Structure 1
Amino acid sequence: MRKLFLSIFCLFSLVQSFAFTSNFLSELDVSNRFVIPAEKVDQITHELNISKEELMLRLISIAKPFARPSISHFQVGAVGLGKNGNLYLGVNLEFPGFPLNQTVHGEQFLIVNARNHGEEGLVAIAVSAAPCGHCRQFLNEIGSEKMQVWILNRPPMELAALLPESFGPKDLGVSGGLMTQAENKCLDADCSVRANAILAANSSYAPYSQAFSGIAIQTQDGNIYRGSYLENAAFNPSLSPFQAALVALLADMHSYDDIKEVILVEKADAVISQVVMTELLLKKIAPHAVFKVEKIN
């Protein structure tokens, strides 16, 4: 009888602890650009007596409702631990009427979100299921083979184990990585929305094409969100500047309807252009927005 009583008591305590943890995590303001500062992370792990790994895995369910899986209806949440101790959240975005390759994967959202906040590297990411091949290749562009990947209900793994015999930047003679805060110094800046698009182009990661490009989105309330072109050694997983700008927009809890103006800046002599796909996608999600293009030598 005593053992039964202890078992019931332990179960009751576990349920209470889980409920407290769930309530505590639910109250987190992850809408603040999908970032949890390092000091807040330390506070939470201390108060809940859990590891950062446990916290990140639990935050996945907090992130998921912010996803926009209009085609698959499959919500993805991802959480990354930056070198500076911050946590960054990511979700998947899908665009009805457009090819599936225009999808922004949860891990991509996470990386762009971290990069937008000046993060220079990721120590680990937590996901509810193993990253797809597309995301493994995108993660590989960071240049951190030893980055930990924490998958729900599975032991930790290094990225290198998820992507053996990988093809990446080093194979094409590129050092550094996607998280490097590049300043290409190829374009001139002046002010306003245009200046933000130029800044985004100047910080783009395009070592394979040198086709630096950037986008600035201005919302109805005057806020401006930048997106930089991010290339991948395998080409296809590359992320357009408009997709990157949408990450910044949605991470600040705006909707597509809030978009007032979009300015794309790209090199005039570039071997590729972002104009066509940007204009098509913009007309689909924000048909009344103004679209401007500026090509700079």
Structure 2
Amino acid sequence: MKRIDDMKQDQLIAAAIEARAKAYAPYSNHPVGVALLADDGNIYSGCNVENAAYPLGFCGEPNAIGNMIMGGGKTIRHLVVAGPGYHVCTPCGGCRQQLREFTGADDIRITVCDVTGAIVSETTLSALLPHSFAPENVAEVSSMESNKS
């Protein structure tokens, strides 16, 4: 797993904190900001946006992924999550699966920051989502089906 340089990580942290400031979290009061470094070298960010009809809200990770896709990026290289407190605020289970779709591998680094921007955890997607289900799993089944004919 390739590490990014400190300057790029600082830029990701700043972008995640800026995104957290824009979060819409009136129900949980738990604003989260996310920033990702994509394969195109750009940083894309997102924040959680809640809705009174709870299933209709969404987390910061899919927001950042959508911004990456719209901006022309295809693959996530590094992710930073900035939570609202001093605790470790990792991506939820559903977001872990969504991240896996756009990583190209499950060993991307995930940096978690607290409310001040201090790093409280560094982990990998494979540690958070072991034995992940990924696009290659679907391709394998499709390949098996076409070989039956």
Q: Write the deviation string for residues 253-272 of structure 1: whole angstroms up to 9, x where unpaired.
A: xxxxxxxxxxxxxxxxxxxx
1:137: how far off? 1.0
1:124: which partner in 2? 78
Give distance in 1, aligned partners of 2:23 and 2:112.
19
* Residue 61 (structure 2) aligned to one of 90, 102, 107: 107
TM-score in terms of structure 1 length: 0.39
1:149: how far off? 0.8
Give distance in 1, aligned partners of 2:28 and 2:95.
17
Letter in 2 for 1:150: T
1:73: how far off? 2.2
How high is the sequence identity, in percent, across the aligned residues?
29
Give distance in 2, aligned partners of 1:51 and 1:156.
16
Q: Secondary structure at the match of 2:28?
A: coil
Give distance in 2, aligned partners of 1:167 and 1:93.
26
**Across the two proteins, how many residue pairs are aligned to each other?**
125
Following TM superposition, the consecutive aligned residue runs of length 4 or more in structure 1 with deviations greater than 3 angstroms are none
**2:110 corresponds to 1:149:** yes
1:155: how far off? 4.7
1:54: which partner in 2? 10
Give distance in 1, aligned partners of 2:41 and 2:139.
30
2:147: which partner in 1? none
Give distance in 1, aligned partners of 2:140 and 2:112.
29
2:96: which partner in 1? 136
1:166: which partner in 2? 132
Letter in 1 for 2:12: M
Letter in 1 for 2:18: I
Q: Secondary structure at the match of 2:20?
A: helix
* Structure index of larger Rg: 1
Give distance in 1, aligned partners of 2:31 and 2:120.
20
Structure 1: which 5+ residue stretches go unaligned? 1-44, 176-297
Which range moves more in the overlay, 62-71 or 123-132?
62-71
